[in-house]
Structure 1
Amino acid sequence: MADTWCDVFPFKDTELSSHLLAQLNVLRQERILTDVLLCTDHWEIPCHRSILVSSSPYFRAMFCSNFLESNQSRVDLKGISPDVLVGIVDYVYTGSVTITMDIVLPLMQAASMLHYDRLCEACSLFLQRQLSPDNCLSMIRLSDILHCKSLKERAKEMAVRCFSDVAATEDFRELSLPELMHYLEDDRLCAEEEQVFETLLAWIHHDPFSRRGAIHDLFTKVRLRYIHPTYLFQFIANDPLVQSSTLCTEIIESMRRLMLSVSTKCSRALKPLWTAPRRYTCRQTLVVVGGRKNNEQTSREALLYDERTQRWQWLAKLPLRLYKAAYVCIHSILYVVGGLSLCMASGDSSVSAAVYTLSLKTNQWRTAEPMLRPRYAHQSVSYLHFIFVLGGIGVDKRICESLERYNSMFNQWEAMAPVPTAVLHPAVAASDQKIFVFGGEDAMQNPVRLIQVYHISRNLWSSLETRTVKNVCAPAAVIEDKIYIVGGYTRRMIAYDTKANKFVKCENLKERRMHHSATVIDHKLYVTGGRFLNGQDAIEDSDCFECYDPKADAWMSKGSLPYKLFDHGSLPLVCVSNRPNPP
């Protein structure tokens, strides 16, 4: 068979460019065909004009235009030290350079001046590796001088991510007012709003004579809605600097009136402060607490779910075992309210009015003002700065019709208008100045087909009979204008549209579920644990962990809880994270 000849043989010598560069460097070192001297401080470096022109727009303009240097054999580069110039020339002929802390700044300045952009970026990468909370503000100023965008972005990222450490530096105290305002406006700032306020106070006190007039401008950058009312109205409102500003005191009084009116509608002047979103670093995270664990005993565990690692973290344990307590969160604090207090040693139990709180910042349980009336198997819900508790079973073992309200502004409980029809295990949610109580069961364990509505601002109840409601031991959760009722001895999930006053059918659960818990994080519904009826109508405990996306009307498994759990709390708690949020 005849050989097959190929007409075309594409060949590329991959080593030619590096070999050519190495040979040109040898020619330079031996002064062969060099035609220009780069000079600085009586130091002369022979080079090839064509190589310099090819490597930099700066030299191209110098040697290929009508500049004097285009015909000169010596070019004086003032302001560049000999060791820096040697490093740049070596870089041009070899593509390599050794960057150290001693040389990086003059090298970066020279590279910027001579338009060696990749060398300038290499210096920037070197400086980015040296970034720390102590020097990041200095690096930002340096990046402005050197016009280095990449260094500035990384340094600014560190400044907002490590705000607590950066705020303690001398550089921070020397920031100008516009610079400080720029930081306080940043959504990425990794700090709670209380710390933002304390930081601006420290900045003013560093130079009170010239800075105290800035208190109002700075105060408007604090997102007051996310500050605990006790801190706002007792600490901030009484601060001498704040009191010295009429505008600041007017803002606080407007906030106070808004909260007392139990309304989300505010004046045009206050609206930008009230509607400002949480900072990106204040992210909601799921916390699961209490309940019956593995059908053995009431759990003292509190778990936090890390969405990024998809792992559970153990928090501090509850001080005691509480059966059928109520769980609610407000102002980034978890409240465990009431319950049946169990003594494992004696086997005795007592109905509790106690309230325990947990802050993720301290990871310690504390006691708060107790309820007016002990109860367990009750419901709790938060709205603005209030916690409402209703129903349940009291000391007399009867279903409670009473409603209590906890005012976090004054740290006190008060009795409100009682529920018209006392029910156990209803689905409860708060939306648009109302508390909705769906279904539940009466003292004879018969389903109650009612929607009972409490009007918060008027302290009045109304009710509506409906055949659609038939839920017992089902949680409810709010996403925008819809209240989702999840299961309740059924697979059914329905959404009540509060604006249209109608129910909408949603994708069913996989099993008939009850005694589970549900909460909303980032506009998605998370359902944990509970009990379910299997194919043989036998009741089993569940470690199920699922997520419902209302936009797709679809369920997705999130894995499982560390153990089987029911009658527990599932809540969104806000924590400050210095890790960037996923896209």
Structure 2
Amino acid sequence: MALSHAFFNQNSRMLCPRKKKQPCLKNCTAIAVPSMKGHGYLDYTIENHTSKAFEKMDEMRRNNLLCDVLLRVSYNGKEEDFHVHKIVLASCSPFFRAMFTNNFRECHAREVTIKDICPKVMQRLIEFAYTSRITVGEKCVLHVLLAAMRYQMEDVAKACSDFLVKHLDASNVIGISNFAEQIGCHELYRTGREYINTHFSEVTNEEEFLSLSHCELLDLVSQDSLNVLCESEVYNACLKWMQWDLNNRAQYFHALLNAVHLYSLPAKFLEIQLKKCPILSKENRCRVYLSKIFQEMCLHKPLPRPKQRGNQLIYVAGGYLQNSLSSMDAFNPQTGEWIKLADMLEPRSGLGACIVSGLFYAVGGRNNSCQENTDSDLLSFFNPVTNQWASRAPMNVPRNRVGVAEIDGAIYAAGGSCGSEHHKSVEKYDPDNDRWTFVAPMPTARIGAGVVACRGRLYVVGGFDGDTRWNTVDCYDPEEDQWQPVASMETIRSGAGVVALDNYLYAVGGYDGTNQLDSVERYNIERNYWEAMAPMKHRRSAHGLTVHQGKIYALGGFNAGGFLSSVECYCPDRNEWTEVTVMPTGCSGMGVAVTMEPCPQLCDKNEEN
């Protein structure tokens, strides 16, 4: 019976009598439909319907069934044909969608010729369109990525990018980054550049780096985002690149020097280069340029504020809270986050801290814990690249509440105490020889003094000699090995924080023998006088004080209310303090300094442990 007859008859309730349970269409002109009033609606989904449908379409493709276009793919004289369905390619590629829907010639063509793509690569893209699966390896991933970008198949491009990111290393990252930039794969390019910035020193040891053009190298070393321990790493990388082909590359030395942050180099490093660098003996213009900067450093003239590479963090080591602490944390002012790092080798409070060649040095202090209570002569350093501590030669005498600063790569440890003895002695540490030597002692014994270096000289501010708290300030000249007094502060301060910023010294907080202080005063080095500045939000002594990107940060400390966890930031332009964060643990007597951001993978690993 033809199905064109009326299939349903609203007036009929009769079923075909041939079978009691099943309707039969033979010899029937109508089927009765029972009423379903009041039973709602059915919403039913077959979860694997789409995948099963695409499986059938892929099967039809492989058997050339219902295919409406033939892709003739040619590459290097080789040609291969692929029968496909336009709608499938158009559904996952804006390129093919435009080709088949926008009245181009190919829109109605039964055959389309595609050149300059390997047929095997095209086969992978076609199979992905039907199956959502893509398989790539080291030999083909770049070819597949190039094709995916060309035909705008974002999911394939992301899969290839993820594969390449997973296999980035120092030997291939430059090539992969350049390739990503050329084909417009921005995310892969960004990730590659981040890898170069983070692993710059490793990358410079590879042949890809040495094969860079001078323009590519100049672009690379001009990046402030390079994460290096010391600017000397950038300078040495430029030397290494030139020495690879000295006859042809020496001409670019001056241009490269303009990209190096020369005022961030230690004067001692520049002196060695001027004496021993063979390239400078040939490139007189570069020699004159570096000599001028070196002379400015030696004459202690006001210098431009050194530029910092990469993201710099504030590191906080040790401290005191009922007991001496061994913790090491870093604060990122850009994100407001604290990072937990490897603990010190032993608990210490009252220690000094400074940065030499990007390494965080912890000097002296006291181990006041349940097991012992001893003053320390220890010297150790933390490497943010490896997230590890290492010991170095101890000082000649233990020094608790010691003042520490760095001048031209040497560490100076001034004053401090051992038991009841308050030191006026000062020691100098040479990292190259791992050795401490005494220099001229201070005129007055001091513990809890603020010690800071500025323009090649060492300043010791305030402090306590066991009987008297001081407002006096003494200045040490390393070249003359002599001390001389300069203008005294307006306020007596021990346990104050002292930093140098833009040719000023800032003395912040402290203890005057009666109260913790919130007051701040600033020393004008050129004119030899102190002036009052805006006070902090909190009174504090034995706190951490450091400079980060032109602003002063005061961390923790102690006052009549107990141990502080608050962190304040001072803006010299506005002469104003603002509270910015709280420390993971409130404490006093910690070592604080600023250096490069640690490797993220190492930080994550430490937090897991």
Amino acid across the alignment from 1:163? F
How far, CA to CA, are the matches of 2:307 and 2:533 in structure 1? Answer: 30
What's 1:363 paired with?
A: 390
Cα pair distance change 1:157/1:555, threshold 3 Å: closer
What's 2:232 paired with?
A: 194
Q: How far is 1:147 from its partner? A: 3.2
- 2:205 is the alignment partner of 1:168: yes
How far, CA to CA, are the matches of 2:515 and 2:343 in structure 1? Answer: 31
- 2:518 is the alignment partner of 1:496: no
Structure 2 counterpart SS, 1:571:
strand
Q: How far is 1:38 from its partner? A: 1.6
What's 1:150 paired with?
A: 187
Corresponding residue to 1:428 among 447, 450, 454: 450
- Contact kept? 1:477, 1:518, Cα under 8 Å: no
- Contact kept? 1:545, 1:558, Cα under 8 Å: yes
How far, CA to CA, are the matches of 1:555 and 1:152 in structure 2? Answer: 34
Q: How far is 1:280 from its partner? A: 1.1
**Count of paired positions:** 527
How far, CA to CA, are the matches of 1:16 and 1:294 in structure 2? Answer: 66
Q: Give RMSD over aligned pairs.
A: 5.2
Q: How far is 1:365 from its partner? A: 0.9
What's 1:343 paired with?
A: none
Corresponding residue to 2:244 among 199, 206, 210: 206
Cα pair distance change 1:51/1:429, threshold 3 Å: same
Q: How far is 1:228 from its partner? A: 3.5
Q: Percent identity between the aligned chains? A: 18
How far, CA to CA, are the matches of 1:440 and 1:284 in structure 2? Answer: 24
Cα pair distance change 1:160/1:223, threshold 3 Å: same
How far, CA to CA, are the matches of 2:361 and 2:98 in structure 1? Answer: 70
Corresponding residue to 2:553 among 525, 537, 544: 525
Amino acid across the alignment from 2:595? V
- Contact kept? 1:377, 1:393, Cα under 8 Å: yes
Q: How far is 1:32 from its partner? A: 4.2
Structure 1 counterpart SS, 2:171:
coil
- 2:283 is the alignment partner of 1:245: yes
- Contact kept? 1:328, 1:381, Cα under 8 Å: yes
Corresponding residue to 2:297 among 253, 259, 271: 259
- Contact kept? 1:190, 1:576, Cα under 8 Å: yes
What's 1:277 paired with?
A: 307
- Contact kept? 2:204, 2:210, Cα under 8 Å: yes
Amino acid across the alignment from 1:365? R
Structure 2 counterpart SS, 1:364:
strand
How far, CA to CA, are the matches of 1:559 and 1:112 in structure 2? Answer: 46
How far, CA to CA, are the matches of 1:221 and 1:280 in structure 2? Answer: 15
Q: How far is 1:90 from its partner? A: 2.6
* Pairing 1:353-392 to 2, within 5 Å after superposition: 358=381, 360=383, 363-366=390-393, 379-381=403-405
Amino acid across the alignment from 1:91? F
Amino acid across the alignment from 2:278? P
- Contact kept? 1:454, 1:461, Cα under 8 Å: yes
Residues 288-339 of structure 1: CA distance to partner in whole angstroms, max 9, x if unpaired? 48xx9977xxx8x976434477435344579xx9x98876555546678899
How far, CA to CA, are the matches of 1:46 and 1:121 in structure 2? Answer: 26
How far, CA to CA, are the matches of 1:93 and 1:359 in structure 2? Answer: 54
Cα pair distance change 1:491/1:28, threshold 3 Å: same
Cα pair distance change 1:149/1:313, threshold 3 Å: closer
What's 2:538 paired with?
A: 508
Residues 194-225 of structure 1: CA distance to partner in whole angstroms, max 9, x if unpaired? 33233222222222221122222223333333
How far, CA to CA, are the matches of 1:208 and 1:424 in structure 2? Answer: 54
How far, CA to CA, are the matches of 1:193 and 1:498 in structure 2? Answer: 29
How far, CA to CA, are the matches of 2:130 and 2:353 in structure 1? Answer: 69
What's 1:225 paired with?
A: 263
Q: How far is 1:230 from its partner? A: 2.9
Q: How far is 1:7 from its partner? A: 11
Q: How far is 1:526 from its partner? A: 5.0
- Contact kept? 1:262, 1:456, Cα under 8 Å: no
How far, CA to CA, are the matches of 2:72 and 2:414 in structure 1? Answer: 86
Q: How far is 1:162 from its partner? A: 2.1
Corresponding residue to 2:156 among 105, 119, 138: 119
* Pairing 1:328-477 to 2, within 5 Å after superposition: 329=355, 332=358, 358=381, 360=383, 363-366=390-393, 379-381=403-405, 422=444, 424-425=446-447, 427-428=449-450, 430=452, 440=463, 445-447=467-469, 450=471, 452=473, 461-463=485-487, 466=490, 469-477=491-499
Structure showing greater radius of gyration is 2
How far, CA to CA, are the matches of 2:410 and 2:544 in structure 1? Answer: 20
What's 1:579 paired with?
A: 600
Cα pair distance change 1:304/1:250, threshold 3 Å: farther
TM-score normalised by structure 2 residue count: 0.68
Residues 31-71 of structure 1: CA distance to partner in whole angstroms, max 9, x if unpaired? 44332212235643323344445554433454456655444
What's 1:548 paired with?
A: 568
Amino acid across the alignment from 1:216? H
Cα pair distance change 1:160/1:90, threshold 3 Å: same
- Contact kept? 1:476, 1:485, Cα under 8 Å: no
Cα pair distance change 1:524/1:7, threshold 3 Å: farther
How far, CA to CA, are the matches of 1:39 and 1:280 in structure 2? Answer: 50
What's 1:538 paired with?
A: none
- Contact kept? 1:479, 1:520, Cα under 8 Å: no
Gaps of 5+ in 1: 266-273, 341-347, 535-541
How far, CA to CA, are the matches of 2:276 and 2:191 in structure 1? Answer: 38
- 2:70 is the alignment partner of 1:37: yes
How far, CA to CA, are the matches of 2:181 and 2:582 in structure 1? Answer: 48
How far, CA to CA, are the matches of 2:351 and 2:57 in structure 1? Answer: 81
- Contact kept? 2:489, 2:521, Cα under 8 Å: no
Corresponding residue to 1:135 among 145, 154, 172: 172
- Contact kept? 2:71, 2:82, Cα under 8 Å: yes
How far, CA to CA, are the matches of 2:414 and 2:520 in structure 1? Answer: 22
Which stretch of structure 1 is more off in the superposition, 454-463 or 76-85?
Answer: 454-463
Gaps of 5+ in 2: 1-36, 332-336, 367-373, 525-529, 571-575, 604-609
Structure 2 counterpart SS, 1:493:
coil
How far, CA to CA, are the matches of 2:437 and 2:267 in structure 1? Answer: 13
Q: How far is 1:279 from its partner? A: 1.0
How far, CA to CA, are the matches of 1:60 and 1:326 in structure 2? Answer: 67
Amino acid across the alignment from 1:107? V
How far, CA to CA, are the matches of 2:103 and 2:341 in structure 1? Answer: 70
Q: How far is 1:177 from its partner? A: 1.0
Cα pair distance change 1:429/1:170, threshold 3 Å: closer
- 2:585 is the alignment partner of 1:560: yes
Structure 2 counterpart SS, 1:122:
helix
Amino acid across the alignment from 2:591? S
Q: How far is 1:412 from its partner? A: 8.8
Residues 362-396 of structure 1: CA distance to partner in whole angstroms, max 9, x if unpaired? 8231379x89xx998775555677877767789x9
Corresponding residue to 2:214 among 177, 189, 197: 177
Q: How far is 1:239 from its partner? A: 1.0
Which stretch of structure 1 is more off in the superposition, 93-102 or 355-364?
Answer: 355-364
Q: How far is 1:11 from its partner? A: 9.4
Corresponding residue to 1:76 among 101, 108, 113: 113
How far, CA to CA, are the matches of 1:355 and 1:234 in structure 2? Answer: 30
How far, CA to CA, are the matches of 1:77 and 1:398 in structure 2? Answer: 85
Which stretch of structure 1 is more off in the superposition, 7-16 or 355-364?
Answer: 7-16
Amino acid across the alignment from 1:548? E
How far, CA to CA, are the matches of 1:56 and 1:335 in structure 2? Answer: 56
Structure 1 counterpart SS, 2:393:
strand
Q: How far is 1:240 from its partner? A: 0.8
* Pairing 1:262-341 to 2, within 5 Å after superposition: 262-265=300-303, 274-280=304-310, 283-288=313-318, 304-307=328-331, 310-311=339-340, 313-315=342-344, 329=355, 332=358
Residues 225-277 of structure 1: CA distance to partner in whole angstroms, max 9, x if unpaired? 33343333125642111232223222332232222222224xxxxxxxx5451
What's 1:106 paired with?
A: 143
Which stretch of structure 1 is more off in the superposition, 93-102 or 472-481?
Answer: 472-481
- Contact kept? 1:507, 1:553, Cα under 8 Å: yes
